[in-house]
Amino acid sequence: MPAAATPGARSDTATSAAAESDADTNTAASASTEIPAGAGANAGTSPGDGGPIASAESGASPRESVSPSVKRTPQPAAATSRAADGSSVVGVVQRVALRWGRGWWVGLALVLLGVGAVRAAGWLFAWCVVGACVAGSFAVLGRRSTRGVWFDMIAVPVESFVAVPWAFSGVRRAGTSELSRVRRYGASVAATAALLVVFVPLLGGADATFATLLSGLVPEVDSAAAWEWLFMFAVLGMGALGALYLLAGPLPAAGDAGRPSRLWTRSEWALPVAVLAVLFGVFLGGQFVALFGGDDYVQRTAGLTYAEYARSGFWQLSAVSILALAVIAAVLHFSAKDNAADRLWVRVLLGVVSLLTLIIVVSALGRMWTYQQAYGFTVLRLLVSMCELWVGLLYVLMLVAIARLHWSWVPRAAVGTALATLVALAAINPEHLVAERNIARWEQNGRLDADYLTSLSPDILPALEGLPDPLRAQIEPNIRRGLDDDPWWAWNLSRSSAR
C-alpha cells in the first residue's frame, strides 16, 4: 500500500494551488486594464504604471504583461460584480451541500448502530456495524476523493495506520510546557484511578445497597472481558485517530471522470447493445406468456410445476441483471458523445436496455416470492430478495445517469442506497417477517418447520402468539433459554421483552 501524504503535505499542496490560482487571477486582472497609448516610455520603470515590475509583484511574468501598443477594453464594473457574486453563490452552495452530505452519512451511521438496541438478530447487527463504519468513513471524507469509492469506504481504517507516526511526530514537536501540562493531567488521572481502586471496594463491602448499585454500573471483570474491552478500545482509538488524520489533511477531492484515451464510436457499440435489447425483449415476451398461462402452460412446455420453474431461473436472472449493469456502465463511460446524434443513440439504446433489465429484476423477485410460498420462507431467501431489490434501485440510478450522460456520482449513490436498504431490512424486522410468513403458510397447508424457527432470535416471539400451545411449547422455551440480563451498554429491547 503506498504511503499516504501527510496532512502538512496536503495543506502545502492546497496552498500552492491557491497561490497559482491567485496569480492567474491577478494576471487576468492586469491584462484587462486599459493602457493608454504613448505610455510605453515609462511602462517598465515604475511599479505604479502597471509595467513588468508591477506585473511581477502581482504574480504575472513580464512575458504576460500587456504591450503598450495594444488597447484593451476594460471589464464593466457591473459584470465584474456579477461574476464575483456568482462565484460566492457557488461556494456557498458547495459548502451547504458538503455539510448536508456529511449530516446524511452521520445520521445513517447512527441509525445503523441503533439497530442493536431494538433487534436481537446477531447477524443483522453485524452487518449494520459494517455499514455504519462505511457511512462514518464517507462522513469524515465529506466528498469523493481521487482514490475512488472503494478506498473511500475504508479510508478511516486504512489511514489510521498512517496516522500513528503522524500523532507521535506531533507529540514530539509539542513544546516543553505543553508536555509538562500533559504529564500533570496524566498524573492527576492516575491518582484518581488509584483512589477509586482503593475506596470503591471498601465502600461496596461496607454497604449492600451501594454494592448492588456498583454491580449494575461496573461490568464484571474477568480475563475474557478484559481482553474484549482492550480490543474494543484499540479499535475505536485507531478509528478516531484515522478520522482526525483525514480531517487535518483531507484527501484531494475528485472532479468529474476524465475523458478516456479511446472512445467507442457508435458503429462499435450500437449493434451489440441493440441485439441485447432485442434479446431481452423476446425473453420478457416469453415471461408474460408463462405468467398468464399459469401452472398448466409451464407443465406442458417445461415439464415443471410453476414453483420449480420459478426456482430454476432466479439465479440466472440475477446474474443477467448484474452483467447487464456492467455493460451499461461501460458503454456510458466509453461511448463517444461528441454530437447530438451520438448522445441521442446513447440515451435511447441504453435507456431501453435498462428498462428491460429492470423488468427482468422484477421477474426475478416474483420468482423468489413464488418459490418461498411453495417451499417456505427463510432469512437467507429474504436477504437474496433484498439484494435483488437493491439491484433494481441501481438501475433507477443508471436511468438518471443515462438521462444526464454523467455517471461519476453513481458509485457513491449506490453505496448510499445499499445502506438505506439495510436500514429498511432492519425496519421490517426480517426474522419476525420470516416467522410470520411461515405461520401463514402453515395455516394454509399445515406444514411448519419448527426446528428452523427455534434457531432464530427472540425477534420472532410476537409472531408465535397465533400458534396453538403445543407448537409454541416446542419453539419458545428454546429461544428464551440462555437469555441472561444484559448490562446497560448492551441493552436490547427484543431480549428485554422476551424475558
pLDDT in tens, 380-408: 989 989 999 999 999 999 999 999 988 88
The residue written with cell numbers 507521535 in the block is 168
pLDDT in tens, 6-54: 454 454 444 444 444 444 444 444 444 333 433 333 333 333 343 333 3
* Same domain, residue pair 271 and 418: yes
Higher pLDDT pick, 120 / 168: 120
Tell me whether residue 55 is in a domain: no
* Same domain, residue pair 417 and 470: yes
Tell me whether residue 385 is in a domain: yes
Predicted confidence at residue 49, as pLDDT, reads 40
Tell me whether residue 220 is in a domain: yes
Range of the domain at 188: 145-248
* Same domain, residue pair 242 and 292: no
70 confidence band (pLDDT: 50, 70, 90):
very low
**What total of structural domains would you count in the chain?**
2
Contact 141, 159 (CB under 8 A): no
* Same domain, residue pair 244 and 276: no
The residue written with cell numbers 481504517 in the block is 157
Tell me whether residue 16 is in a domain: no
Beta bridge partners of 335: 264
* Same domain, residue pair 243 and 316: no
Tell me whether residue 436 is in a domain: yes
* Same domain, residue pair 288 and 343: yes
Q: Which of 216, 248, 280 is the last residue of a domain?
A: 248
* Same domain, residue pair 319 and 369: yes
Tell me whether residue 453 is in a domain: yes
* Same domain, residue pair 392 and 439: yes
* Same domain, residue pair 303 and 423: yes
Q: Which of 199, 215, 248 is the last residue of a domain?
A: 248
Backbone dihedral angles phi then psi of residue 310, each to the nearest 5 degrees: -70, -40
* Same domain, residue pair 416 and 469: yes
Tell me whether residue 37 is in a domain: no
DSSP assignments along 116-145, one per residue: GGT---HHHHHHHHHHHHHHHHHHHH-S-B
CA–CA gap between residue 64 and residue 67 (Å, rounded): 9
- Residue 151: exposure state from Cβ atoms within 10 A (0-12, 13-18, ≥19): middle
* Same domain, residue pair 367 and 408: yes
pLDDT in tens, 239-254: 888 888 888 888 877 7
* Helix boundaries (H) for 207-265: 208-217, 223-248
Residues 311-343: b if buried by 16+ CB within 10 A, e if exposed: bebbeebbebbeebbebbbebbeebbbeeeebe
* Same domain, residue pair 238 and 197: yes
Tell me whether residue 270 is in a domain: yes
